[in-house]
Amino acid sequence: MGKPLTGVLTLAAVSLAIAGQAFAAGDAAAGKAVFTQNCAICHSTDAGANKIGPSLHGVVGRKSGSVSGFEYSSAMKSFDKTWTPEELDTYLANPMQVVKGTKMIFPGLKSDTDRQNVIAYLDTLK
């Protein structure tokens, strides 16, 4: 019984590694430029420095709606996700559609490349 389980776990690990490669390919420097142009007006990258939106320092891997001292919408409070690269990609494509009732009034980043680059940049903020 140990061998089939090992095979399943190995297959799952390979699948996750392949899924993550799309985001690992993002260019953090290009993402910083996209972030500066589209996100920095409302979001800080400094830990504990909230603006109109919460600080995005450490956002990759963080639970949604969890930045201390930030007043989230009830929609975001109940969203209850972890900001994985995949969740961020979906959210950043159309925030108001993904979390109906969010306070984030932003149409989203329509370019897959821009989203991947921003996510690569956000992943450096640890």
Least confidently predicted of 5-9, 36-40, 61-65, 121-125:
5-9
Neighbour-count burial of 17, counting CB atoms closer than 10 A to its CB (0-12 exposed, 13-18 middle, 19+ buried): exposed
CATH number at residue 63: 1.10.760.10
Its domain, for residue 50, covers 2-122
Total number of domains in the chain: 1
Q: What is the pLDDT of residues 81-98, one digit of tens each?
A: 999 999 999 999 999 999
Helical H runs in the chain?
2-24, 28-38, 74-77, 85-93, 95-98, 112-122
Give the pTM. Answer: 0.80
